[in-house]
């Protein structure tokens, strides 16, 4: 059997559940059974090697969660080391009088060679190691773990809201949202475990001090009382063995403490390990090396200073700075290329190719926002826009056209502009180097930054530095990056103007998809029952009120049934809305069985019906003062329902629904206007307000 097969078999045994029992058995062996010196040497060597492996794995780990088992490994390594302390103490006290290597060659080497056989030096070295481990590394790592665990838990609600915002904006799908939520939970569990695991290392350092003094005192008592050694021999023999034992345990303990500190102090995007971060961030500043070289060189020229080490180190630093500057210049020269001279333009006749068509959806950006669009510079805006188009296409029921992105020097550097059919429908300014902290309505403090507004929903927001993200999320802010700000604004604009993007080509594609699932229905619908133009108008009316046209069969069957009786697009739209009533109500009220509604006073409703019948569906004959009063009362009722966390629904007759929907569409956007025949039969109605008595 070769080494590969052996290693595979070992991994299979570990994965089958044999690894943990074998480790527990090894620790019990160390605690109970007396081991020969050779076995102690093997275990001590394994302990040092294990600590080095853990430290190197931490250094080469890009993200802390990639080594999520570290708290458990830290506990196991600590218990293994304490078990070795017990086993070595037993051997030192039983055989320490026989020879210096009675407890093994490793303890002898650390007691004789490392500290030169001088127990006083050994005590000082041991004390220094304990102070470094206990006071400096372990205490600092424990504090970082505690703070990280606290801030991670405090930031969880904000991170969850950010995930929900990305999911609602179509930037991510449900699977990715679920994965992000699981990662947030794992991150909180990891830092919480690290906060507790740091106590293991701290307790191990205290145990090392106590074990050393127990070995020294017990060795003196046994050597002098049982083996008849004089005080000098007992002190020399047992103290050296105790110090060697303590050093053998403290060095792996220090390595694990350093590994723990490195892991909890990691700050980065997760794509680089510690070495790569060091080379990318530390060596990218050759001026710092050059200034340091000058200072060290000047110190070496001062009379009385050791010239050789200072001048040598200054020369090395200066050489490194020169090499880094030279490498940076070469990189810039490779990037900058000479542009070819423009060719002489050919004079030709004008044609239709010179008439540029209007972009159906356009995004104009200032020059400072170009990196957000450029994938080579790490821009994610294109993928975000693709996610927005995919989500809206699935929700609305037709394919959203591509978004044409161009830079525009007429815009401010940080500004962007959204256009639909060549007309500007939204614009805003953002800060690409910052992130937007949006106040969702209730936060627990304030953050420093540039005040602004969320361009999609008009919420108060603050542009903060990326380093403040966790703090802002802990305070309850929803933090999003600049790409998400633009993508969310685009999603809102496209949803509001979806009916303008739906034309004859989209209607024909809609019919083609209908023919795949209901070919007879599609064949008899256009042009036998309704024309393609009439179909476009009806579907545009639905989209104008943010009703999905994805249920093609229900819409087509309703048009086929009512198209022979009327060719009025408003009447057909009303019929389709009634057929889609359950879907409309569910979109507004969810799965709740009770729908709170606002109604009109019967006298006011009759008055409006007479006015609409006499002046047409546009309601041009209504008295302006009455219209203003109705609008004011509807706005007040809608605001009350919104404050109570309930949807605002106005329930009226089918004759008034279309006119009232146009009346409040842009002025009271949160108010939904439904007709009586659009309410499903099993839906319960609760009247929470009546408009009319005060009007």
Does the pLDDT value for residue 16 go beyond 50? no
The stretch 403-427 carries a mean pLDDT of 91
Separation of alpha carbons 407 and 366, rounded Å: 6
Segment 98-113, tens digit of pLDDT = 666 666 777 777 766 6
Which of the four pLDDT bands, split at 50, 70 and 90, describes residue 7?
Answer: low
Output the pTM of the full model.
0.55
- Average pLDDT, rounded, for the chain: 81
pLDDT for res 268:
52
Given pLDDT bands bounded at 50, 70 and 90, which one contains residue 10?
Answer: low
Range from 5-9, 256-260, 516-520, 667-671 carrying the lowest mean pLDDT:
5-9
How far apart CA 234 and CA 218 sit, in angstroms, is: 11
Inter-helix orientation angle 286-301/307-335, to 10° = 160
High-pLDDT (> 90) share of the chain, %: 24
| DSSP state letter for 673 | E
The whole-number average pLDDT for the span 85-106 is: 73
Q: Are 238 and 226 in contact (CB under 8 A)?
A: no
In whole angstroms, what is the distance from residue 67 CA to residue 53 CA?
A: 13
Per-residue tokens: 295:
């200072």
Find out whether 250 and 78 touch, Cβ atoms under 8 Å.
Answer: no
Rounded (5°) CA angle 29-30-35: 90
Average of per-residue pLDDT across 136-157: 73
Of 65-74, 240-249, 274-283, 510-519, the one with minimum mean pLDDT is 274-283
pLDDT digits (tens, 9 = 90+) for 544-559: 989 999 999 999 999 9
Q: State the pLDDT at residue 308.
A: 82
**Which of 192-206, 539-553, 613-627 is modeled with the greatest confidence?**
539-553
Is residue 433 over pLDDT 50? yes
* Domains of the chain from N-terminus onward: 55-137+199-276 (no CATH), 357-499 (3.40.30.60), 502-579 (1.10.8.540), 583-695 (3.40.50.12790)
Residue 615, pLDDT score: 59
CB 60 within 8 A of CB 273: yes
pLDDT in tens, 320-367: 888 877 877 776 555 554 445 555 555 667 777 667 778 899 999 998
* Distance separating alpha carbons of residues 408 and 365, to the nearest angstrom: 6
Most confident region among 120-129, 145-154, 207-216, 501-510 by mean pLDDT:
501-510
d(CA 30, CA 94): 15
Predicted pLDDT at 12: 55
- Token pair 């356009």 is found at 362
Q: Per-residue confidence at 374, pLDDT binned at 50, 70, 90?
A: confident
| 389 touches 403 (CB < 8 A) | yes
């Amino acid at each position: 059997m070769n080494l590969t097969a052996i290693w595979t078999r070992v991994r299979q045994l570990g994965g089958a559940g044999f690894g943990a029992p074998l480790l527990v058995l090894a620790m019990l062996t160390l605690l109970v059974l007396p081991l020969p010196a050779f076995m102690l040497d093997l275990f001590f060597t394994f302990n040092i090697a294990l600590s080095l492996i853990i430290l190197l794995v931490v250094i080469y780990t890009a993200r802390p969660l990639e080594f999520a088992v570290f708290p458990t490994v830290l506990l196991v390594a600590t218990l293994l080391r304490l078990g070795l302390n017990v086993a070595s103490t037993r051997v030192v006290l039983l055989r320490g009088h026989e020879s210096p290597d009675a407890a093994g060659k490793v303890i002898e080497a650390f007691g004789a060679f490392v500290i030169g056989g001088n127990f006083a030096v050994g005590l000082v070295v041991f004390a220094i190691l304990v102070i470094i481990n206990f006071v400096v590394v372990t205490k600092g790592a424990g504090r970082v773990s505690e703070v990280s665990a606290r801030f991670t838990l405090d930031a969880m609600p904000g991170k969850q809201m950010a995930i929900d915002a990305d999911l609602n904006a179509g930037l991510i799908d449900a699977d990715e949202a679920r994965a992000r939520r699981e990662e947030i939970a794992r991150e909180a569990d990891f830092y919480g475990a690290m906060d507790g695991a740091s106590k293991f290392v701290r307790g191990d350092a205290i145990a090392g001090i106590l074990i050393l003094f127990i070995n020294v005192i017990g060795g003196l008592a046994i050597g002098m009382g049982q083996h008849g050694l004089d005080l000098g021999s007992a002190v020399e023999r047992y103290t050296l063995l105790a110090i060697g034992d303590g050093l053998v345990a403290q060095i792996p303990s220090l390595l694990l403490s350093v590994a723990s500190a490195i892991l909890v102090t990691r700050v980065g995007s997760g794509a680089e390990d510690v070495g790569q971060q060091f080379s990318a961030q530390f060596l990218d500043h050759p001026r710092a090396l050059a200034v340091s070289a000058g200072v060290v060189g000047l110190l070496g020229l001062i009379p009385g200073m050791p010239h050789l080490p200072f001048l040598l180190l200054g020369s090395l630093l200066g050489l490194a700075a020169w090499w880094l500057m030279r490498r940076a210049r070469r990189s810039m020269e490779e990037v900058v290329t000479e542009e070819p001279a423009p060719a002489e333009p050919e004079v030709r006749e004008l044609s239709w190719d010179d008439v540029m068509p209007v972009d159906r959806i356009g995004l104009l950006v200032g020059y400072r926002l170009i990196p957000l669009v450029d994938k080579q510079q790490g821009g994610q805006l294109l993928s975000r826009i693709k996610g927005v188009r995919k989500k809206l296409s699935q929700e609305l029921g037709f394919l959203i056209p591509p978004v044409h992105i161009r830079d525009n020097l007429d815009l401010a550097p940080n500004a962007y502009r959204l256009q639909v059919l060549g007309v500007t429908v939204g614009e805003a300014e953002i800060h690409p180097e910052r992130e937007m902290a949006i106040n969702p309505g209730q936060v627990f403090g304030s953050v420093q930054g540039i005040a602004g507004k969320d361009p999609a929903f008009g919420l108060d927001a603050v542009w903060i530095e990326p380093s403040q993200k966790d703090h802002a999320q802990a305070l309850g802010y929803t933090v999003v990056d600049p790409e998400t700000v633009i993508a969310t604004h685009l999603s809102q604009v496209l949803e509001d103007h979806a009916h303008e993007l739906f034309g004859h080509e989209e209607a024909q594609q809609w019919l083609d998809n209908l023919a795949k699932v209901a070919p007879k229905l599609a064949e008899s619908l256009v042009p036998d029952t309704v024309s393609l133009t009439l179909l476009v108008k009806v579907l545009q009316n639905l989209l104008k009120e943010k009703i999905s046209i994805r249920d093609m069969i229900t819409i087509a069957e309703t048009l086929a049934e009512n198209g022979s009786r009327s060719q009025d697009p408003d009447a057909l739209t009303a019929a389709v809305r009634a057929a889609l009533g359950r879907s409309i109500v569910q979109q507004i009220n969810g799965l709740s069985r009770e729908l709170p509604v606002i109604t009109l006073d019967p006298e006011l409703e009759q008055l409006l019906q007479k006015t609409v019948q006499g002046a047409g569906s546009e309601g041009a004959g209504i008295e302006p003062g009455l219209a203003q009063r109705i609008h004011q009362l509807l706005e007040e009722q809608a605001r009350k329902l919104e404050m109570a966390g309930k949807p605002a629904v106005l329930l009226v007759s089918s004759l008034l629904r279309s006119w009232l929907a146009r009346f409040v569409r842009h002025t009271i956007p949160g108010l939904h206007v439904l007709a009586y025949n659009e309410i499903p039969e099993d839906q319960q109605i609760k009247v929470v307000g009546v408009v009319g008595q005060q009007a």
